[in-house]
Structure 1
């Protein structure tokens, strides 16, 4: 009995040590984490591989639950996949022309990964790295998880050390908030983080999103050249196929999808005061009634209809095809670092970049019901 009693503390210490090692592995390696509301009818899963949203379970107008986010089954697929499903992309989301920019008189050369341009921060952008899990509260009134990543001076060609945090949180009945902040430690640097979640409100893998209804609260957009680089103009949407100021079916302008076959991939200049939270867009899938409003504090939003998807193997055996989702990525204007006429994306040493957004989900019988 005495020998067995003496072993108990050792066994307990061993269990604690193993638990500590498991926790360390959990924080340093890739894994999946869940947040769930108290009613159990609204939840998301995320991964610290790319600080990405993996799934979002949301009820429809009859209370039926469905996962409305495109994604993969394994962490390895998030590391190797080309679609940036749900990822936090950066240091600079979207495109930088000719993979270079000049800042404070110095030219910085980046790594091109989109023709001659840099897309989403380069081939090893923030969506391709492991983030540290700092906090995780699984359920309760406001479950949340916070990821952290340190981007070193010179990473993918960008100047200066950068400390980055991303927090996902559920609140109210069906609100998902995403808060991103980044502190420049020792050099001025461009920062433009974006969340690259692919939405299909009928359910992931259910078909295309051309019947979704969309409203974008933006009276202007930034035209691009043949390499998808902004021309520097900010022009009215009125009279163009980019006018979604009133709720409009995504596939209304079929020529956008038939000529060239790539759909929408364009940045809008969001109405209202910059750096202030304001409504950016609203989306609804008519059959299910699922909808969300997007609120954010960034000057722009990229509307993308997943024209680049081509038989991508996703979760649960689903195959995702062209136009199988839409993205609404709040952001700075693309290539802002090369366009002084655009709102600045430069963060100075000691200053903090803040990017907040909220997805407010609901389900109504009609798009026009509030």
Structure 2
């Protein structure tokens, strides 16, 4: 393990995480604070592999699901902690049209396109382009070139992701991209959280969740938004006040819960006009751990881990089951390129795509 510098309160260390079958080395950078909070980021998928935070008694534990080896990340389709691109979430019928030209993408979710396709950003090896420490915290920047036509998308895209851990335990994830042709971009992080901690994992059904959203986008049987913005009032989708996830996730009388096998829906943030909006607050009453997620995008996808079925081996040989983790993915709306009334995911040459999200860790008061 190599220490970059120990002069600042926050620290960054570079290490080898493992190798792929072809011998490609996968590196990791561990960001840490004086209080022991750590974030490990690996170059495969620019993935958040671990996030260690303290509980109410000060005991540190890992609050994100993941794998111990590069091979396991490539063998499973769960996107654990990965950077998602070029387009996070689903695109209906794996097609979209830009300026009169129809583009056909890889159909990897039935007839639909999901999370960038068969070889999205999550399955590629990123390059560490910068590691730094200063008075603001420790950070690592990873970069990637996605060639014109990759996955069916137009334009050569230069993408980067910067993870920065502040001394107060806030992890900022800064996504950026440029293109040489008009294209679409929607990048996010796909971490699965379980605030009970990996060593003493309990189902996330006991977590409390707050999402400041008065509307969500209902879906069809393929989990593609219908185009409607539906009020959350008097539905299982009302998280405007903290709600126990297990209270309604198995509500068999709600068609949308049935379609998603739980929650797998896009919530339209009431705070979306803010430069950095609160997207969600998640807490575990037993451990006392809490996270707040902020974003500069208009929505967040809440996914309750419905497709974790006990066949995905995670860290330490743990088999991840339904309810062992949940995702809160800030984004533009799913299928936005095919829904003119949805916020645009269009990116032009000369412009820079930016998505900044923050994961603020702490203990509930």
CA contact 2:221–2:259 (8 Å) conserved in 1 = no
1:30 paired with 2:26, answer: yes
> Is the Cα contact below 8 Å between 2:272 and 2:299 reproduced in 1?
no
Partner of 1:198: 192
Shift of 1:260: 6.8
What is the alpha-carbon distance in structure 1 between the residues aligned to residue 207 and residue 85 of structure 2? 28
Q: Report how far residue 129 of structure 1 moved.
A: 0.3
Which residue in 1 is equivalent to 2:279? Answer: 280
Computing the radius of gyration from Cα coordinates, the structure with the larger value is 1
Question: Equivalent residue for 1:118?
Answer: 113
Once the two structures are TM-superposed, the CA of residue 140 in structure 1 deviates from its matched residue by: 7.5
Aligned Cα RMSD in Å?
A: 2.0
Counterparts of residues 71-82 of structure 1 (less than 5 Å): 71-82=66-77
For the residues of structure 1 that align with 2:133 and 2:305, how far apart are their CA atoms?
31
Measured after TM superposition, the shift of residue 259 of structure 1 is 5.2
**Is residue 262 from structure 1 mapped to residue 257 from structure 2 by the alignment?**
no
Flag the 1:45–1:254 CA change in 2: closer, same or farther, 3 A.
closer
The 5-angstrom pairing of residues 135-214 of structure 1 reads 135-137=130-132, 142-184=137-179, 186-204=180-198, 206-214=201-209
Q: What residue number does 2:247 align with?
A: 252
SS at match of 2:144: strand
Which deviations, in whole Å up to 9, do the C-alpha atoms of 1:218-238 show, x marking residues without a partner? 111001000000000111111
Moved over 4 A (4+): 138-141, 257-261
Would you say how many aligned residue pairs link Structure 1 and Structure 2? 339
CA distance in 2, matches of 1:158, 1:69: 30
User: Secondary structure of the residue that 2:151 maps to in structure 1?
Assistant: helix
* 2:6 alignment counterpart: none
Alignment of 1:281-300 (within 5 A): 281-300=280-299
**Preserved CA contact (<8 Å) 1:36 1:138:** no
Q: Report the counterpart of residue 12 of structure 1 in structure 2.
A: none
Question: Are 2:238 and 1:243 equivalent residues in the alignment?
Answer: yes
Unmatched segments (≥5 aa) in structure 1 = 1-21
Distance 1:58 1:137, change over 3 A: same
Report the counterpart of residue 53 of structure 2 in structure 1. Answer: 58
TM-score after normalising by structure 2: 0.89
| Stretch deviating more after TM superposition (341-350 or 268-277) | 268-277
Q: C-alpha distance in 1, partners of 2:102/2:137?
A: 44
The one of 200, 215, 218 aligned to 1:220:
215
TM-score under structure 1 length normalisation: 0.88
Q: SS where residue 251 of structure 2 aligns?
A: helix
C-alpha separation in 2, matches of 1:130 and 1:273: 32
CA contact 1:263–1:323 (8 Å) conserved in 2? no
1:332 match: 332
Q: 8 Å contact 1:182–1:354 — kept in the other structure? A: yes
Deviation at 1:340, TM superposition (A): 0.4
Partners of 2:186 and 2:213 lie apart in 1 by 20
For 2:258 and 2:352, locate their aligned partners in 1 and report how far apart those are by CA, in whole Å.
Answer: 42
Q: CA deviation at 1:255?
A: 3.1
**Who is 2:315 aligned against?**
315
Distance 2:135 2:181 in 1: 40
Residue of structure 2 in register with 1:87 after alignment: 82
1:350 CA drift (Å): 1.1
What is the CA distance between 1:76 and its match in structure 2?
1.8
Q: Name the residue aligned to 1:5.
A: none
Equivalence for 2:13: none
C-alpha contact (below 8 Å) 2:249/2:263 kept by paired residues: no
CA contact (8 A) 2:204 2:324 kept: yes
